[in-house]
Structures are given as C-alpha cells and as structure tokens.
C-alpha cells in the first residue's frame, strides 16, 4: 500500500489495515503553473522521475530556465519530505509485488502518473491506482501507466479534488509520520 503524501496516506493506511498490507509512501510533487498553482503542468517523483502535462504546458508560456528552476526547488522539498516521512525507515521492496497507489483524488493526473512511474522503476510487477474521485478524462489518460484503476466517482464538471469532500483540511507532516510509524509496528 503506497500513499501519496500527504492526503493519500490516511486513505492508504485505512485500506492497508483492512487488507493487512504494509504501508509506505511514494513522494511526488506537483509542478503548478505560476499563475495557477493548483493546475499541474507536470510533476516530479523520487529517483528523478519527471512528467509533463503536455496540454497544460502548451499554454504555459514558460521558458526552459523557469521550468528547471521550479523542478530544482521542488526536488529539494521532495527530498525533505521523503526523509521526514520515512524517519530512517527503508522503502518497501516493490520488486515482484503488486503496488496499490492511493491518493485523495486526481485532478490532472500528473502526480499519479509520476507515482506509477516510480513504482514501476522500483520493480512493481503490477500497479493498481486507487482514488475516491477523479474526472473521467484523467482516469482514461492514466491507463498507460497502471495495470488497473479504481475510482469511486467521476463527477462532471470537475474543477478540484477538494470540492468533492465535506472536510478537505490538509493532512499534516506529523500525521503522515505517525501513520507510517504505526504501520511499521509489529
């Protein structure tokens, strides 16, 4: 069970408890448009993974220098979070295993795509992407990076993940660390 920090980790922890599956994370960072930070023009993931949302990038009007600076800045935060969240624990070994990647929802699919690529690079034999909410177009666009997709709701129109929650209060770094620590207990 692999949660995307931060919001996907509490959901992954619940599913992992129900299935008796170990919990880990895949750390990814959205690359938001400077003018619309919530709109992903791409994403980065652990181990140098980089994906672009070609549709958004086509309208971004950013030069390569600006994109590279953003990627460098987000890599620093990605590394900080991975170290903080794992708190010295090693990653789960995904080689030959089914990786269930869980997030709190998908908007453009950039971070989910990056997470799937990280899991595949780490040897996952099968990737299941599971989310409560996503637009149908994003779900369809992700079938090339995962083996199976589970999505509870595909509402239209779709503007943001948070609009489909009664309470979308951000999960804290502390909560992520505690959920991972609790899952690691024998």
Q: What is the DSSP string of 162-179?
A: GGG-S--PPPPHHHHHHH
pLDDT, tens digit (0-9, with 9 covering 90-100), for 132-182: 999 999 999 999 999 999 999 999 999 999 999 999 999 999 999 999 999
Helix (H, G, I), strand (E, B) or coil at 155: coil
Domains, the chain, in order of start with CATH, read: 2-180 (3.40.50.2020)
pTM of the model: 0.92
Summary mean pLDDT of the chain: 94
């Amino acid at each position: 069970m692999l949660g995307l920090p931060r919001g996907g980790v509490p959901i992954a922890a619940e599913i992992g408890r129900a299935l008796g599956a170990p919990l880990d994370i895949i750390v990814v960072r959205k690359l938001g448009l400077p003018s619309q930070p919530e709109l992903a023009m791409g994403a980065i993931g652990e181990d140098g993974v980089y994906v672009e949302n070609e549709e958004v990038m086509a309208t971004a009007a950013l030069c390569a220098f600006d994109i590279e600076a953003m990627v460098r800045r987000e890599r620093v935060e990605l590394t900080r979070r991975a170290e903080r969240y794992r708190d010295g624990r090693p990653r789960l070994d995904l080689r030959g295993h089914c990786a269930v990647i869980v997030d709190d929802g998908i908007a453009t699919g950039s971070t989910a795509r990056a997470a799937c690529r990280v899991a595949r690079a780490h040897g996952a034999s099968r990737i299941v992407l599971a989310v409560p909410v996503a637009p149908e177009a994003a779900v369809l666009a992700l079938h090339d990076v995962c083996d199976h997709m589970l999505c509870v709701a595909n509402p239209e129109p779709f503007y943001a993940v948070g609009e489909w929650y009664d309470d979308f209060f951000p999960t804290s770094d502390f909560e992520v660390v505690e959920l991972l620590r609790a899952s690691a207990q024998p």
